[in-house]
Structure 1
Amino acid sequence: MIDRLSGISVFVTVVEAGSFALAANRLHLSRSAVGKTIARLEQRLGVRLFHRTTRSLNLTDDGVLFYERCLRALVEIRTAEALLENGKQQVSGRLRVSMPVLFGRLCIAPVLTTLAREHPGLELDLSFSDRVVNVVEEGFDLAIRNGPLPDSTGLVARRLGDNRMTLCAAPDYLARCGLPSNVEELVQHDAISYRRTGVIRSWLIPQADGTVREVIPKTRLLMDDLQAIADAAVAGFGIAWLPCWLIRESLLKGELRRVLSEIPGINFEMHAIWPQTPHLPLKVRLAVDALVSQLPSRMVF
């Protein structure tokens, strides 16, 4: 197929140049190479394309017919190339993104919808799910992952920021039950705990020596939804261990207060991942750049 396209390109150039010599000059080939290419093309097609004399070079009837069709094909190819080149400068087409439900709704979707507003040709197809999708097999352009990434061939990852966890409680709960002054006192308090896949998640507290201490609180409420845990914390049911991006507004409004705020919260890395390709589509690059730029301010307090 490559040889056929090469022969067609040489043929069209010869017609437009009006001679083998001028065509050879335009193609940076020898005159002999051009002549052999046309000869092979005629042999393959089984027709003569040119009337040749020492002074002139004219198309045969078959040559005219073939030239018209070849010209149409080359115009289509050049149009396709122009569209692709234009697509590198203007964002267009559908962008399929997979993201965790709550984090996606509160943090990712607002950034991407703003991007879509800035680029009218961009279409968004957002999938909210806490399961780990197969990006390639399920046809996603982009996926957002929380925590360490497994080794994955054929995928590219870029860090978006840190998902910082913090202990918090409502002011009225702390007024009733007191503010813990150290990690040991946490077990004396009511806790609102998170359960996922049947396992109650421990609270992870960084230590001064660089290790991480697991605290299993005295659970009063057990839930498998982070938003419900945050709502219960605001309602004064106890202490919760939650991501800063989820409770940021509640902290700003004074509905929640950080507990043991002098202890730095543990961080989980957030990444964007996408299928590895020779040329990264502009829509993916702009989406990732927007997330890298805007997410950090949404994820910390």
Structure 2
Amino acid sequence: MTIASERLQGIRAFLQTAEAGSFTGAARQLGQSKSTIAKAVGRLEARLRTRLFLRTTRSLSLTDEGRLFRESCLRALAELERAEAGLEARLADRAADPVGRLRIAMPVLFGRECVMPILLALMERHRGLELEALFSNRPTHLIEDRIDLAVRIGALPDTLGLTTRRCGTQRSVTCAAPAYLDRRGMPEDLDALAAHDCIGILRDRRVEPWRFAVGGRLMQVPVRARIRVGHVEAALLAARAGLGLVQVPLWLAQPLLGEGHLGEGHPGQGHLGQGRLRPVLAAREPPGLPIHLVWPTDSLMTARLRLAIDALAAGLPALPNRPG
């Protein structure tokens, strides 16, 4: 084994251990023994003359030096990937059709219902593409996680090192089943919400406040949630059962607000089947949340990335804009 290959093996073992949080996890991922991984990391620490991990009998964590070294290694890997992507792009430009992998992150439900149909149609048209779709409702680190493109809904807290393109708006609707409204009455203003059963959606163990427009401004209103669920679709099912008011994305509720309001071929159409819900407090509908495409500024704009950006920018604005 040459010195160069031994160093690369040590760096590989170090990065995988940092990601897995243990030598055992790294060994499993790399298909090697735990002792092989531990020795490779030990040799790397000896060469660097510093500890990269704090070791106890129960845990393994990075030292300050380890964190700095990991960041440097990830930057180097990103540079290598850009070099590889550059070569792939030049080769792809010679071909009639883009080729290669697209790694795209998206919110779970919106990604499944609205983004994936667009991407799958793209994959059908371009057989040389490979897709790796990542679903999470938590922000992802595009550079660290080596993500080519992300779809994000709402305000973008930090765009340093990122390029963004707004491609649509997600509107929301407050609604309830006719049976519930017949039983409890139609709320005429925001103060009336206190007398109604509401179906809340949990985020980090807390019920999300509902959003409304008041005097041209956004107002966030805490609601008394008789039912609290961690999934938007489950909240909508509870509303269909007549158990209360709910506030959900309009594209999700649209098929249930009556027939004829959703265009043919809309990506979210009909997945919950036909049902009946009635909008409430429509005059207080809040401003829509922006939908952005986000990608690392330093990424090479390959033909396949451009293709995905253009397809999503063309398809996502087809989301419905009003409940009726």
TM-score by length of 1: 0.68
Report Cα offsets for 1:71-90 as digits up to 9, x if no partner.
Answer: xxxxxxxx989624325x52
Shift of 1:92: 1.3
Q: Establish whether residue 90 from structure 1 lines up as the match of residue 121 from structure 2.
A: no
Segment drifting more, 115-124 vs 258-267: 258-267
Give yes or no for contact 2:108–2:135 (8 Å, CA) kept in 1.
yes
**Residue 248 of structure 1 pairs with residue 254 of structure 2:** yes
2:197 aligns with 190
**For residues 225 and 89 of structure 2, what CA distance do their matches in structure 1 show?**
62
- Equivalent in the alignment of 2:232: 226
What SS does structure 1 have at the residue aligned with 2:156? coil
Aligned residues: 221
Q: Which runs of 4+ in 1 moved over 6 A?
A: 79-82
Identify unmatched segments of 5+ residues in structure 2. 1-86, 259-273
Moved more, 269-278 or 99-108: 269-278
Q: Deviations over 1:124-179 (max 9, x none)?
A: 11111112111111111111111111233321111121111221111111121111
CA contact (8 A) 1:171 1:257 kept: yes
Say which one has the larger Rg. 1
Q: Which residue of 2 aligns with 1:205?
A: 212
Q: Is the 8 A contact 1:97 1:141 kept in 2?
A: yes
Q: List aligned pairs for 1:242-281, cutoff 5 A.
A: 242-252=248-258, 253-277=274-298, 279-281=300-302
Cα distance in structure 1, aligned partners of 2:299 and 2:88: 18
Counterpart CA distance in 2 for 1:299 and 1:128 is: 23
Deviations 1:178-233 (A, max 9, x none): 1112222122111001121122211121112x222232222110111111101111
Aligned match of 1:128? 135
Aligned match for 2:160, one of 136, 153, 156: 153
Q: Equivalent residue for 1:117?
A: 124
5 Å-filtered alignment, 1:5-16, equals none
Cα distance, 1:82–1:281 mapped onto 2, change above 3 Å: closer
Superposed displacement of residue 264, structure 1: 2.9
The residue type equivalent to 2:133 in the other structure is L
Q: Name the Cα RMSD after superposition.
A: 2.1
